[in-house]
Every structure is written in C-alpha cells, then in structure tokens.
Structure 1
Amino acid sequence: MEKMLCMIVFGALAIASLAQDASAQTVHVVGDNMGWVIPSNGAAAYTNWTDRKTFRVGDTLVFNFMTNQHDVLQVQKSSFDGCNSQNAVGSPILTGPANITLNSTGDHYYICTFGRHCLNGQKLAITVSSSTSTPGANPPTSSAAGPSGSVPGGTDAGPSGSVPGGTAPPPPPSSSTTVLASFMLSLSAIALAAFL
C-alpha cells in the first residue's frame, strides 16, 4: 500500500512538472498569416510583428514558406545587417515549414538567402529571454531595407535546434491542463496525508 501511494504521489508530481514546463512554451508563427515571404512593406513587416511578441527559451518559431521558393538561415548580426550568409549558425533550412526551437537567450537573426529576398525585407531579428524571466523582451533594432550586398545561396550553417519540414508543433496546453495537474498534485497530497 505504501509503495502504491508513493507511485501516485510521484506520478502526480511528474504530471504537474510537465504541465508547468509545457505551459511556458509558445509557438510563434513568423509573420502570422503573412508567413515567411518577401513582405510588401519591407523589413518593417517583421519588425512590427516582433513588437507584439515576447520570445523565451523553449518557444518555437514556425517559418511557413514554400519549398524551393524561400529558405531560412540563422546568422550573426553582421550578416543580418549585410544580408549575407558569411557568419551562419548551422545550415539553411530549405524545406518549409521550418520549426526552430529557441534554445538560448540573446539576439537571434534569421534571413532568407534566395536572391535579393533579404534585401527586400525577408529578415527577422528577435531577442530571446530566459523561460523564467518577465515579459518585455524587445527585438533588436535593424534597418528596414538593410545595406546593399549579395545573398549567396551557399551551404553555410543554419539554426541549431531546427527541424526541417513537417508541421507546426501543437499549441501549448491550455490552462485547464495546468489546473488538472494542480488538482492531481493536491489530491495526491491529501491521499498521502490520510495514509500517514
């Protein structure tokens, strides 16, 4: 009986922990309905999109684009500003949609390396905060058009933690999942107290 009670308490604690971790993660569809395209109003479209968002470690960026028409590449700030892939972080993701899990804090920069797409505004800059920090992370500032330069297709590296292709991950659990986990934890604590 004591062993069963310990298993119940451990199970409830595990469920509560998973529900709390999952509820802190957010799926961000880059550009919302616009997707990952050359925006009609240049880089301001993605800058305006980030103004309404808070990005945290563990969140997922979903870049919706047509395969063979766009790609996504994480780069350093100098390459973001110059629209080139010289300082890439990983390899370009060529198959859309691309799901990228944010696994570190700080400034993150993404570009499309097809033709002049980046120069025409297909670039994204975000600031990622820790998963336990308070809201209010602002994206880094960037020029709307970006300086002139070429965008080689290249085979430079791309975003770490990325999963090319596939579909967007499911949305985070609702608050009812967290409430259920809290209820299970409370129920286990009551059961433990009753048997002690």
Structure 2
Amino acid sequence: MAKHMGLIGCSIVVVLSLLFAASEAARYNVGDRFGWSVPPNETFYSDWASSKTFIVGDTLVFNWTGNQNVADVPMADYNNCSTDAITFTGSPNRTVFMITLLYPGPRYFICTVDDHCARGQKFSINVEWPFSSGPSPSARPPSYSSAPSPSFGV
C-alpha cells in the first residue's frame, strides 16, 4: 500500500510539472517598439493592452528614455491620474523596469511625471490564473514560505 502511495505521489508531481511547463509565462514589452513614453494619442497603451491576455507569472517590461517612471496604483488614482497611493515606482534614472504579475485581478499602471498620465501614458489590465479552474480573481496566492509541503507515506 505504501509503495502505491509513493507511486501516486510521484505521478501527481509529474502531471503538475507538465501542466506548469505548458503554461509558460510571457514577457511583454509595454508599448512594443514604441516603449514607455508619452504616446501619440490617449488610447495608445489601452489599445496595446487590449490585444493581450495577461496571466499570473507574466512579466511587463517598461523601456524608456528621458524623464519617465511607472507606478502601480489603485483604480481611483488611475482614473484621476493621481499619485496619492503609489504601490511601487520605477526610477526616472532607469531605462528598463520589469514587473512580474504575481496575483490575479485588475492592475493599473501610470507615469507620474508631469502630465504624462493625462496625455495617455497609462493602461489597465486584468491578470488571470493560467488555468480557468484557479481561485477567484480576488484571492491572493499564499506565501511560498508558509505553504505546507506535501508528504507521502513511505
């Protein structure tokens, strides 16, 4: 019996490994070749994001020159181009800033320099679980350090 439990446990690990390998995370260059800058029109980044599906584990790469930055903000600050509750920001002195999407749900990104946000340097996305059977979008995944490790009978 114990021998069969070990075999079942190994089978589960192999199946899960194959599933996660099949859902390889993507890397998106925000704005594609245009990069992260004041756009030519106010819907440029919204149009860019609308053609993509973002999943947990994907990475957003912000490339810029000059005085730019990026902030992850709540929806109200996104709608008003407000910088009252910035979650994180990339420095104006950097030319590349990467963000890995670690949990599902809506995300809102803006540039906080001058009037860049009001001129369209912002976009929102909805991050999804890689598999449709995942937890609800409002659920945050548990910390890896607190997750129990599986044990199998020997």
When normalised by structure 1's length, the TM-score is 0.56
Name stretches of at least 5 consecutive residues in structure 1 with no aligned partner.
1-9, 135-196
Q: Distance in 1 between matches of 2:51 and 2:37?
A: 19
Deviation of the 1:88 alpha carbon = 1.6
Q: Distance in 2 between matches of 1:62 and 1:21?
A: 22
Distance 1:21 1:45, change over 3 A: same
> Which residue pairs with 2:96 in the alignment?
97
Letter aligned with residue 93 of structure 1 = G
1:36 matches 2:36 = yes
Greater C-alpha radius of gyration: 1
Distance 1:26 1:79, change over 3 A: same
Q: Distance in 1 between matches of 2:104 and 2:23?
A: 19
Count of residue pairs brought into register by the alignment: 121
Name stretches of at least 5 consecutive residues in structure 2 with no aligned partner.
1-9, 134-154
Deviation of the 1:23 alpha carbon = 4.6
Letter aligned with residue 78 of structure 1 = A
> Which residue pairs with 1:17 in the alignment?
17
- Please say if residues 59 and 98 of structure 2, whose CA atoms lie closer than 8 Å, have aligned partners that are also in contact: yes
Q: 2:81 aligns with which of 80, 83, 88?
A: 83
> Which residue pairs with 1:117 in the alignment?
116
> Which residue pairs with 1:46 in the alignment?
45
RMSD: 2.4
- Please say if residues 81 and 117 of structure 2, whose CA atoms lie closer than 8 Å, have aligned partners that are also in contact: yes
> Which residue pairs with 2:61 in the alignment?
62
SS at match of 1:119: coil
- Which of the pair is proportionally richer in strand? 2
Runs ≥4 residues deviating over 3 A: 18-23
- Per-residue CA shift, 1:52-97, capped at 9, x if unaligned? 100000000001112x51000100001001111112213x111221
- Which of the pair is proportionally richer in helix? 1
Letter aligned with residue 129 of structure 2 = S
Letter aligned with residue 109 of structure 2 = Y
Q: Distance in 2 between matches of 1:89 and 1:18?
A: 34
Distance 1:22 1:71, change over 3 A: farther
Identity fraction in percent: 36
When normalised by structure 2's length, the TM-score is 0.70
- Please say if residues 71 and 96 of structure 1, whose CA atoms lie closer than 8 Å, have aligned partners that are also in contact: no
